[in-house]
Structure 1
Amino acid sequence: MTTDSTYTYQQIASAIEHLTSHYREQPSLGELAEKVNLSEFHFQRLFTEWAGVSPKKFGQYLTLEYAKSRLRDGYPLADAAHDSGLSGTGRLHDLFVTIEGITPGQFKQAGSGLLLSYGIFNSPFGPYVLGTLNNKIALLHFLNDGDEPETILTTAWPEVSLKNDSPAVQFLADQIFPTTAIDISGDLGNKLLKPLPILLRGSAFQLKVWEALLNIPEGRLASYDQIASAIGQPTASRAVGTAIGSNPIGYLIPCHRVIKKTGLFGGYRWGAERKQAMLGWEAARVEK
C-alpha cells in the first residue's frame, strides 16, 4: 500500500527528474506542477520541503553548472548563455553574480581582474587571515604554525589575484573581534552593528548547512543530527559533518557551535583547543 508520504516523494522525484533532463528548456513552475498533477502553490511548497530549495533555485544551479562547463570549454559568453537555455548574456551575468559572486567574464578569464584583498590579524583565538572580494568577506582562516596565508587563499579562490592590503580590510576585522567597547547609541554603533557582508560559494547542500549554522545563537550548541534535521535531511548527518568541515569563513559561520549528539565536542577544522576556547569565550559573554 502506498502511503501519502511515499506518493509525495514519487511526485517530487518525478519533478526533479524532469527538471534535470529539461533545465536547458527552462520549464516554468506551472509546467513542472502540471507534470506531477499539483497546483503551482502546492507544488512549490512540497518541492521546497523535500529538496531543500525552490524549483527555481534548483533549476538555476543546474543551468549555472552547465554554463560553467561551456565557458571552461572556451565557448563565448553569448553561446554559453544560449546553449544553457537563457535569453542572453544579461541573464547569465545575473545568475553568476547571484550564485557565484563573480561575473561570467571573470570566471571565463580565470579571475583576470578579480582582486582578493587580504590581511593577517590577531584575535582572542590566535592569528587569522581575512580575505575580501568586492568588499565582502570571502575567507576567514585561523593560522597555525607553518601555515602559508597565500597558499590558503589561492586554494580557496584559485582564480583570483591576491593583494596583501591590511588597511583595506581593517574595518571589517575590527567588527569581527572588536578590541574596544562599542557605543551602540550613536551613528558609529549603528554602522558597526549591521550584519557583516559575506560572500559564499559552494554546492546547494553546503550553502544550506552553512545557513543553518548561522541560526545557532551565541552561547548555544547544536548536534550534527540537529543540523541535518534543520535542513530537512535528517539522515544526512555525515554529509552535514563534511560540509561543516569545509566552512571557509571561521567563527562568523559558527561551525564551532556544532558538537556530537553524545555531548563530546568532536573535531574542528582549526583545532579542538581553539573550538573549546571559542565556546568558553562565548559562554562568558552571554553570561555577562
Structure 2
Amino acid sequence: MTTTTMTQPSAANDLDQARRDYERVTTALKYLEENWRDRPSFEDAARQAGVSPHHFHRTFARWTGTSPKRFSDALTHAFSRSLLADGASILEAALESGLSGPSRLHDLYIAQEAVTPGDAKRRGQGLTFRLGRADTPFGIGVFLIAPRGLSALAFADKGAEEAAETDLTFRYPAAEFVRDDAAAAEYAARIFAGERTPLALYGSDFQRQVWRALLAIPPGKAVAYGDIAAAIGKPSAARAVGAAVGRNPVSWLIPCHRALSSDARLTGYHWGVDRKRAMLAFESFRELHAA
C-alpha cells in the first residue's frame, strides 16, 4: 500500500511566497550593491524587485533587518572609510563615494558611528600607546595607555585576549603601540582599589558627552538609552546614544554596563552580557555593604 503525503495548500502558498520574496530581495541587494554610488531611490529599488514600494519595504526589512536606504548608507560608509584610511581627503572621500560634499559625508558618519569623518581619519595619528594585559575581577583586562592617562580598557575570557587587543588597536589605526604588561598591572591595581585614574579619551564631542552622562549613573543602578539621551538634552537621539555607549573605550571606569535597552534587558554589552550582569551585581553588593 502506498501512502501519499499531501502538502496543505496554505503551506505550499507560504513556501511559494517565501521563494518569490527571496528572489526579489536578492535582486534588490545586487542592484543596491552595484549602484550605491548613484544613491538609488527607494522607488528604483522596488522597481528592480518588481513589486510596489510598500510591499518592497516590508519584504526587504523582514529579510535583511534594515531598510534599503540604511543598507546603501552602510555600503557608502564602508567605502568612504577605506578611502580615508588610504589617505584620501574628506572632500575626495565624499565625492568618490557619490556624495555632494563633506557635509553629506559628515551626516553619514554621525548616523553610522556618531563620529565625524575627521575623527575617523585622524584617529590615533601621532600617538604612542602602551598596550598590556593584567588580571581583574572580571577576567583578563586589556589596557591601552596614552601619555596623559588610560585610553581604553577591555575585558576578555581566557584565550580571547588577542581578539580584545585587536579590537582596541583597530580603533586607533594610525597610532603606534608598545607592549607594557607592567604598566597594565599598575593601572589594574589602582582602578580596582578605587583610586583616581587619569583618563585620556579620544572621541567626538557627542561621544564624550554621552560618556560623561554614564559617569553620573550611580553604582549598581541602570538606566535606558532614552534616559541618557534626555539627560544630555537630546531626547530623540536614543539610537545615537546607543552607538556612543557601544564605542565607550574605557569599560568599568566609564560604566556603559549601567546602560540598558528600552525594555530594560541586559543587551548590547561589548564584552558580553554575562560580564555585564556580574559587574552590576558586584557594584550592588559593594554598595549594600558600604551603607
Q: TM-score, normalised by structure 1?
A: 0.54
Match of 1:223 in 2: 224
- Say whether the 8 Å CA contact 2:131–2:180 is kept in structure 1: yes
- Say whether the 8 Å CA contact 2:225–2:241 is kept in structure 1: yes
* Distance in structure 1 (CA, Å) of the matches to 2:155 and 2:271: 6
Match of 2:288 in 1: 287
C-alpha distance after superposition, 1:69-119 (max 9, x if no partner): xx976xxxxxxxxxxxxxxxxxxxxxxxxxxxxxxxxx69943xx321121
1:177 has 2:178 as partner? no
Match of 1:146 in 2: 160
1:244 has 2:257 as partner? no
Flag the 1:208–1:130 CA change in 2: closer, same or farther, 3 A.
Answer: same
Asked which structure has the greater CA Rg, the reply is 2
- Say whether the 8 Å CA contact 1:126–1:142 is kept in structure 2: yes
Flag the 1:110–1:212 CA change in 2: closer, same or farther, 3 A.
Answer: closer
Q: CA deviation at 1:240?
A: 0.8
Tell me the SS of whatever aligns to 1:131: strand
Flag the 1:146–1:248 CA change in 2: closer, same or farther, 3 A.
Answer: same
Match of 1:127 in 2: 140
Q: CA deviation at 1:208?
A: 0.9
1:136 has 2:149 as partner? yes
* Distance in structure 2 (CA, Å) of the matches to 1:202 and 1:227: 18
Flag the 1:175–1:108 CA change in 2: closer, same or farther, 3 A.
Answer: closer
1:165 has 2:187 as partner? no
Flag the 1:218–1:272 CA change in 2: closer, same or farther, 3 A.
Answer: same
Match of 2:27 in 1: none
Match of 1:155 in 2: 170
* Equivalent residue runs for 1:50-129 within 5 Å: 110-111=125-126, 114-129=127-142
Tell me the SS of whatever aligns to 1:118: strand
* Distance in structure 2 (CA, Å) of the matches to 1:122 and 1:108: 28
Q: CA deviation at 1:135?
A: 4.3
* Distance in structure 1 (CA, Å) of the matches to 2:242 and 2:214: 12
Tell me the SS of whatever aligns to 2:136: coil
* Distance in structure 2 (CA, Å) of the matches to 1:271 and 1:210: 19
C-alpha distance after superposition, 1:122-155 (max 9, x if no partner): 1121112011010400110112443425423320
Q: CA deviation at 1:260?
A: 2.6
Match of 2:17 in 1: none
Match of 1:17 in 2: none
The CA RMSD measured in Å over matched residues stands at 2.5
Flag the 1:110–1:201 CA change in 2: closer, same or farther, 3 A.
Answer: closer
Give the share of equivalent positions with the same residue, in percent. 39
Q: For structure 1, which runs of at least 5 residues remain unmatched after alignment?
A: 1-67, 74-106, 179-191
Tell me the SS of whatever aligns to 1:127: strand
C-alpha distance after superposition, 1:232-286 (max 9, x if no partner): 0111111111111111111111000111343322221111100000000100000
User: Greater CA deviation, 232-241 or 258-267?
Assistant: 258-267
- Say whether the 8 Å CA contact 2:124–2:173 is kept in structure 1: no
- Say whether the 8 Å CA contact 2:154–2:251 is kept in structure 1: yes
* Distance in structure 1 (CA, Å) of the matches to 2:250 and 2:124: 25
* Distance in structure 1 (CA, Å) of the matches to 2:228 and 2:124: 37
- Say whether the 8 Å CA contact 2:134–2:184 is kept in structure 1: no
* Distance in structure 2 (CA, Å) of the matches to 1:240 and 1:264: 16
* Distance in structure 2 (CA, Å) of the matches to 1:226 and 1:204: 19
Flag the 1:108–1:176 CA change in 2: closer, same or farther, 3 A.
Answer: closer
Tell me the number of residue pairs that the alignment of Structure 1 and Structure 2 aligns. 170
Q: CA deviation at 1:203?
A: 1.7
Match of 1:277 in 2: 278
* Distance in structure 1 (CA, Å) of the matches to 2:223 and 2:160: 32
* Distance in structure 1 (CA, Å) of the matches to 2:276 and 2:123: 38
C-alpha distance after superposition, 1:198-247 (max 9, x if no partner): 11122221111111001111122111111010010111111111111111
Flag the 1:283–1:110 CA change in 2: closer, same or farther, 3 A.
Answer: closer
- Say whether the 8 Å CA contact 2:152–2:249 is kept in structure 1: yes
- Say whether the 8 Å CA contact 1:132–1:138 is kept in structure 2: yes
